[in-house]
Structure 1
Amino acid sequence: MRRWNNLTYQSKLMLAFFMLGIIPSIVIGTMAYFKSVSTLESRVNADLGVIAGQLNAAIQRQVEDVDRFSTFPYFTPEIFQILNQPYVPRDQWGYREIETQQQFAKLLVTYPSIFSTIQGLVFYSTKGNIYGYRVSDRSSINEAVSPVDEEWYKETLKRSGGVFISGLRLERQFNSAPFPTITASRVLLNDDFTPAGVVAVDIRPDFMDKIVRSFQLESMHVIVADEKGELIYSTQTGDNERFLRAAAEQSSHSGTSRGLINLPDLGGGLAAATGVYAHSEYLGWTSYLMIDREELLGDANVIRNFTVVLVLIFSVAAAVLSLLLARNLSRPIRSLISSMRDVERGLFITPAAPPVQGEIGQLHLSYVTMVRRLDVLVQSIEEKERQKREAELYALRARIAPHFLYNTINSIRMLAVLQQSEGIARLLQSLNKLLHANMKLDSELVPLSAELELLHHYVRLMELRYTNRFKVEWQIEENTGQAMVPPMILQPLMENAIFHGSFDIEGPLLIEVGARITGNGGDELLITITDSGHGIPQDTLEVLNGEREQGPAPDGDGNAGSSIGVANVRDRIRLRFGPPYTLTLKSGPGQGTRAELYLPYQPEDGDTSRPRMEE
């Protein structure tokens, strides 16, 4: 931001026009590119979703056929008779055991020829006998191999007669090299529902390759994983495990049986790809159909390259145009800047008219008018400053009268002291204090102790005028004297209490003056002046509290003057400290009057914390 502010107006204009020429082309090209990419991906993903569902259904049908085939022993009672025969070690076989094996082999030979996807059958009797048949090489059973510890066998036993479809595994049960297979197995139950054995049907994994070829998915990467996420089938070689982990992680986050997948470039020959996945609840398998993004977005990249060329063309055109416009606009502005510098030096010289019209011409005319008015205003200000200095000299002369009166009363007081008239001397001293305080009325703040001392002098003068008509009680909380308050703020309230409170009452008027620290944190000073007079009517009280405007002046009771004094005190507090600090009057007919001043507690030393009170 600082660098931008330091640029010249011409540079800013050139950059602005340049950006206005480039940004639209970039935005339009980018939007067109991403829109075409989004549309293309949406259509491809929709098509892939349909294909993935069909692929899953075709694989599931093949496995369902094998599942149904695994129930054929229930239709061949001879198989259950053989499975329930007691176990005899091979080295102890006689004619009966050999005949049983041959009979079982004849039963098994017939069925695998019906299903070309089957490459072997194995029966595990609960008595310990193992019978099997392999389609390709007729290998015999390797009785040294036991499936008890293999995962597929444990899962089969848990199903209690239900089918279990394993992932890709190596079959080692025959006396030949282990071969990859997918096993469909189930527990065979006798008529009394006791286990007779386990039948395991070995399925050729390449049946999925035939299904994929039938769908003509040569340009796509097809992956099938079991329920544990382990690879069963892939159309491409390479690091399929890492590819599968990344795809499975995305599909697991969606929590649905079908969805979209977008994989970044994983490196090691695994380019960025997009596609879909479909999960089979029956098999527990997940099929992934992926397509290379570069291949998918080939046409969209043509649009992108075309956009880049357009942006370059528009950039050159915008640069030339912005340079020309910036020069034409900045030339009259530089002329105005030169004139402004002359004005800064006090030379009110107007520049020549610019060669261009329009907004720049109007700006020039407005500037010329402003310079001429500034010249007039400067001359006017100089004249007002001269008149202000003359007024200050006059005010200085006017203040000689209060000083002369103050000095004269002070001389009279000294004469009363010399003549031993102590009462007159004290009264003159109190009057002198009031005059001195009035001359310092423009002071910022004074200590409350000084303000209370001044109030004592005022009470002393009022006692001379209203002898035995009032009595003042002082309830000043300790440590409040250091609080700073506006000067001459209590005298108008005491004056109102004496003049209006003592009017037409029997006996002397009682006036209480109090000061204490309040507030939750001890940050507020409350000063009260309470009298025991007749009180103030409600409508007059509302005027004194500023709740409504004052009407015509009352006849003869002096309330109009008291309203001015109270309003002055309240306005001084509000202007000085702001809300919620103010003056509030509380009264009622026959209940007396209470003036409450709410001020912030500000000690004389600047510490605003509440002082520690003595018990």
Structure 2
Amino acid sequence: MRKLKKWFMDLKITPKIIIYYSIMIIIFMVLSVVVYKQLNYSTVTKKVGQMLMETVKTVDANLNFLIETTSNQEKILLSSKTLQSALSQNSKRNDPVVQRQVENYLEESMNFNEVISSIYVFDNEGHKYYADNASYKAVSLTKIKEAPWFDELVRLNGSYLLKMNGGGTFDSQDMNYISMIRVINNIDTQKPIGYLMVNISADTINKYLNKDGNTYNTQYILKDEYNNDFLHASLAEEQEFAVIIDHVLDKEDHSEIKKVGSKQYIVSNLRTEFDWKLIAITPFNELSTQDQTYTIIFIITLLVNGVLLMCGIVFTSLLISKPIQKLVNAMKTVERGVFQEVSIKTGNDEIGRLKNVYNMMIREIQLLFDNVVQEQAAKRKMELEALQNQIKPHFLYNTFDAISSLALSGNHEDVYTIVKALGKFYRSSLNQGHEEITIRQELDIVEQYLTILKYRYGDKFTVTTHFDERTLDYTIPRLVLQPLVENAINHGIRAKIGPGLITVQSLFCGDSIQLIVEDDGAGMEEERLTQIQQGLTNGVGLKATIERLSIYYNAKADFQIESQIGYGTKITLTIPAINDKANSNKTLQL
């Protein structure tokens, strides 16, 4: 996340604006589509559910009309003289003529009403008259009287009782039937004289359910009061639909959307007037095709608006960022140390005012920079002079101490020698007022200095030197090695028991030169070493030398001190390999 944030913050203004607003537009578009689809889905679901429920009610009305039409046909049958006479006169029960007359009448009734598949009539003694357009049904009065619903049939006293497949009085393997069963009463006495069973096939019922057309490929399931299937839909995922149907059976006049497999269906349940359940299963995709078209149009419109808005954002970002980029390109000269005013065409807007302020700032900085350069040059010169003046009296104090000691001891020849060496030392170190000297000249100064110190310390130390010839003609500031040698003697050799060794060497390292002064004296503690490295000591010689080199080489000189108690100290000075002969002509103004 941090890398991503850094990457974004490092981008230029134009892509940053485009990315930011692109994300906002995408989020807005996604939220708009999600909200639209959710609201649209909810609205469509509600409307489709209501529409399907109305359709189911219409289908139920068609079914009720069919039942009532058949019931009216039954009433005509019940009131016919042919049927009343045959059932009332027991003497005509086995008369073939009567049998034929009644059954012909039943066939005529079936032909008049095509919805009727078969008619079965029984007198009180169980004699049967029938007409059947399908297969014969082995129904008998005995089975009717043994049925659990017979008492209810008697209580209805002539009204019909609706049962599936004769309420179990006959088996139908190929086709289910709605059986309208009722008691036949004598018209005159209103006493029961027989029983009537009119059967309507499932095919006929199904045709009536779909007589107004089936635009949405709806499939219907019709269950009796015991939830037995009268009409069974042809569904691929029967087990999944069975669970859904069981779920909606207990909810009257109810519709809900269920997902089966990869498709959605609206399942509607309606309880009919005769206590059967009519269930409609409609593919939701068939209903939402038009709404999907609206959704596609909405998304396309949203995308077009998004593209137009994006173009506007790109144009606006370029309008803002282009002048800024031009200003940035003009400002890049500052990176090269060139303080140059920018010249670009701008209006009197924020960017124009920014350009004017920047140009004014450049003028002020250039003026300030020139002043600082002059001040720093003067300050640097004064600091170098002050530091060298610190070194000179420091060395003189120590030398005069040695001369005083020799004079007191009466050793005049040694006094002469040391004074002569001191004069030669100063003649070499002053170098006719030049600020820089060669490393070769610096070695001569060190040699004279050691000559002086030999008189002070005798055999206390010996000196070995190793100088790379390639380094001898390179120039360095005056009195660089002398303070280091002095420091080695005063703080290393003097504190050591017995004689010590001082090694002075120079190494050529290509683009740099190393000057090394090493002793095998007493060494320094780590705390003392840290103080020297951090410039916290009060000593003049070593501290002054470090400061001089830092100023002279603009902090490009490296100064390393290695020391260990009992093993000595090693000072390594690494300076740039610069052989500028012009620098050797600089004079030190005292």
TM-score (norm 2): 0.42
Query: Between Structure 1 and Structure 2, whose CA radius of gyration is higher?
Result: 2
TM-score (norm 1): 0.41
Structure having the larger proportion of residues in helix: 2
